[in-house]
Amino acid sequence: MNENRQNIICATERLLQTHGLARLTMREIAREAKVAEGLIYHHFKDKAELILEVVEHRLHDTKNVLQTLPLRVGLRTLSENLEEVLSVVYRSHYEIVPIVCSVFADHQLRTRMREIMKEREVGPQNAIDWLVVYLAAEQRLGRMADNIIPEIAAKCLWMISIQKAMDDQLMEQKPTAARIHQEIHQYVQTMMAGLEPVLPARQKTTLKKSQKS
């Protein structure tokens, strides 16, 4: 990546973290990056495009782990692979939650960023699609139950990590890596186990009869 471009992105991220979106101007970004304001417009059309670059920069690790998931099909356990993915998704989104929430509060900025995302064909659904591809492949190998819909499972897993990141940011909690790993492990194990109680065959038959009557 061009050095000036990278410098501008990093300066924007620092200002977003320290000053917030409301006080973010191209002039302030230029001052922070120690470049001419005109140079920013050489690399970015407007503030919306620049902020989106900051978000994309923070999501780099998430993109990498999702795009390499197909290489892990059939390797290790399904739980281990999913836990690693969710941990990376959590860390990336923990950093961008304040930025995204600020964007939601600015209608004009939000509309412009949505336009850019449509032009580039990027967004959360792309990430979920990679997870769907992986789960479907694992299902074909018999490592995931046949009655599970990969698309639904992928969305549930994705939302678990995002919601956890949002909750921790809202409450200003900075969980340790060990705690994040433990919680995500518990989430994945709960999903893997399912919600139905495990009953002996005789009890299942009795339960079905009682439900029919």
Express each pLDDT in 6-44 by its tens digit. 999 999 999 988 888 888 999 999 999 999 999 999 999
| DSSP calls for 86-150 | HHHHHHHHHHHHHHHHHHHT-HHHHHHHHHHHHHHT-SHHHHHHHHHHHHHHHHHTTSS-TTS-H
Res 212: pLDDT: 58
At 21 the pLDDT is: 86
Whether the Cβ atoms of residue 8 and residue 29 lie closer than 8 Å to each other: yes
Q: Does domain 1-44 sit in CATH 3.30.930.10?
A: no
Q: Which CATH class is domain 56-195?
A: mainly alpha
Give domain limits for the chain.
Answer: 1-44, 56-195
Quote the pTM value: 0.83
**Could you say which DSSP state residue 24 is in?**
-
SS3 call for 19:
coil
Residues of the chain with pLDDT under 70: 1, 198-213
Structure tokens at 97: 């939650």
pLDDT at 194: 81
**95 CA to centre of own chain:** 10
Across all residues in the chain, what is the average pLDDT? 89
